[in-house]
Structure 1
Amino acid sequence: MVAAGLALAAALALAACQSSSADQTDGRTKVVLGIGGRSLLPYLPTTLAERLGHYKDEGLDVHLQDFKGGSKALQALQGGSIDAVSGYYDHTVQMQAKGKDVRAFVNMLRTPSLVLAVSPKSDRTIGSVKDLKGAKVGITAPGSSTDFFLKYLLVKNGLRVDDASVQAVGGEAGAVAAMESGRIDAAVMVDPAVSLLQQKLGGGELRLLADTRSPKGTEQIFGVKSYPAAVFYADGSWLQRNPDTARKLTRAMTRTLRWIQEHSAAEIAQKMPEAYAAGSVNVYREAIDRAKPGYSPDGLINKAGAQAAAELQKSFSPEVSSKDIDISRTYTNEFVATR
């Protein structure tokens, strides 16, 4: 019995050593990161960080989970099926109005990069946002940033949020197909979908009612040159429990943002999944080149831009406008500052 006991103890000790060794080898921290449209250019840095191995370099095992719209990713976060979201900052303001502590902790995109375009097949005469009254307008999904942007523009131009008939068409092939067929009269779109639709026109002009893909366009719409758009955000409680993981995600992202600044659009496109180009590599490269100035160089969230995002929400949402929103609680630069 003593011999058997010693043998059992030795076996358990050996198993423990083997387990410890395995943990040290493959012990990367698992993070499930939701994305509100993985192939869309605002979220390019999220996938690029994976392709460059930056998450792995930080000891993270990041699983990217794609959703059709930022609102769907937010729902998954609230349901607990993902740890953090690669989505638009707007949702942190929306959640604070609901009494939820959701905070952005690194900024990828400093221009909204949203475009309100008119369908080339629409049978309506649309020369301005005011002409969208009674029109069918596409968005990625209800409650998404494309939805918020449309509502903001309608109200800003003297219309009600329900003056246009809003339809969810997705952010990629679905949006292009809906615009190309004339099923909708206009849409809030994101590249590369905008550039792909432009290509399909065969050189014809795509009428744009609003374009925030550049700092100049962003300033024209919101009055600020830097507007927190695509960010990483998570529940405040998750950030408190996992500061090291948040810091590692931030380091991986800021390293990726610097890589974007230092490389050409062609080099960036080469690193991305081929399917994201949708068979039009040249158009994809051109879209990335146009998007480059909008990517944040440092990951920091600008206070004035954050305030502008809150004003967007207040313009059409009674739930937000009726609340005293503390902007300082919707984001933190702590992890960027300590990267």
Structure 2
Amino acid sequence: MDAGKIDGVVGFHDHNIDLQGKGKSTEAVTQLLQVPGEVELCRTDVADQIKSPADWKGRGLGVTDIGSSTDFLTRYLAVRNGVQVDQIRESGVQAGNTFIAAMQHKNIDCGMTTEPTVSALLNSGQAKILLDMRTADGARAALGGVYPASSLYLSTDYATKHADTLQKLVNAFVKTMHWINAHTAEQIADQMPPDYYKGSASPPTSPHSRVKKASTPPTD
């Protein structure tokens, strides 16, 4: 969207703040999550040396990409725990197989990712959880509060000129959120395409690796 090739996207709410700072006017019209849904994993062989982000100094940390929301969160967690951003080494390793490979080759010590990558690494014993931000309590423990995450946001120009289309999009997302909140994690997972589980040996099954039931978005 920053390049003007698309009018809207589903992404973290914090991108709106970043884009506003760059002179790009965007606005979120549907909030899908009030927590990041991210997990900070550390390689099993170094997990006993890293008890919190305070131990990140000099460590290699994986993020989706530089400038991504996982990058923002990683930097915030470092500074919040007394580690300056120039004291960590971030690498953009995406998710799935590329994230797993980065851990296997020890290119990163810890990294932030989501399901099903989390389950794949936990089930194989290659990683342990340092921070779990898939729940409101987990987000508060790691970040100090909930963190508006996935949202539908668009350029303000498009939103202003296409109010009718925008309302249909919002209605569709709200209807989907109501469906999610009315069904179990297993029922939701059953609706996902096979590619969703790519990079995972099997669909998530443990209580800590199942698809999390969506939280009701904030109303304020």
Distance in 1 (CA, whole Å) between partners of 2:134 and 2:174 is 21
CA shift for structure 1 position 176: 1.8
Distance of aligned partners of 1:286 and 1:242 in 2 relative to their CA distance in 1, 3 Å threshold: farther
Residue identity opposite 2:27 in structure 1: R
Q: Is the 8 A contact 2:40 2:132 kept in 1?
A: yes
Q: CA deviation at 1:207?
A: 3.2
Between 1:172-181 and 1:116-125, the stretch displaced more is 116-125
Alpha-carbon shift at residue 218 of structure 1 (Å): 1.4
**1:221 matched residue in structure 2:** 142
Distance in 1 separating the partners of 2:211 and 2:101: 23
Alpha-carbon distance between aligned partners in 2 of 1:286 and 1:140, rounded to the nearest angstrom: 25
Give the equivalent residue in structure 2 for 1:236. 156
1:270 equivalenced with 2:190 (yes/no): yes
Q: Does 1:118 align with 2:42?
A: yes
Say which structure is richer in helix: 1
**Distance of 2:129 and 2:48 partners within structure 1:** 15
The offset of 1:171, in angstroms, is 1.9
Please state how far the C-alpha of 1:166 moved relative to its aligned partner.
0.7
Q: 1:107 touches 1:300 (CA, 8 Å); kept in 2?
A: yes
The structure with higher relative contact order (CA 8 Å, sep 6+) is 2
Aligned residue-pair number: 219
Alignment of 1:315-330 (within 5 A): none
Summarize the Cα distance change of 1:156–1:189 in structure 2 as closer, same or farther, 3 Å threshold: same
| Letter paired with 1:276 | Y
Aligned residue in 2 for 1:172: 96
Q: Secondary structure at the match of 1:197?
A: helix
CA contact (8 A) 1:132 1:164 kept: yes
Structure whose alpha-carbon radius of gyration is higher: 1
CA RMSD in angstroms, aligned pairs only: 2.2
Name the amino acid aligned to 1:129. Answer: P
Unmatched 5+ stretches in structure 2: none
Matches within 5 A, 1:148-297: 148-201=72-125, 206-225=127-146, 227-278=147-198, 280-283=201-204, 289-292=210-213, 295-297=214-216
Query: Over residues 157-185 of structure 1, what are the superposed CA-to-partner deviations in whole Å (9 max), with x where a residue is unaligned?
Result: 11111111111110222112212332211
Gap regions ≥5 residues in structure 1: 1-76, 303-339
1:272 Cα deviation (Å)?
A: 1.2
Q: In the alignment, what sits opposite 2:71? A: 147
Question: Counterpart of 2:73 in 1: which secondary structure?
Answer: helix
Instruction: Give the residue type in structure 2 aligned to 1:257.
Output: M
Relative to 1, partners in 2 of residues 1:285 and 1:80: Cα closer, same or farther, differing over 3 Å? farther
Per the alignment, residue 92 of structure 1 pairs with 16
TM-score normalised by L of structure 1: 0.60
For 1:264 and 1:165, locate their aligned partners in 2 and report how far apart those are by CA, in whole Å: 39
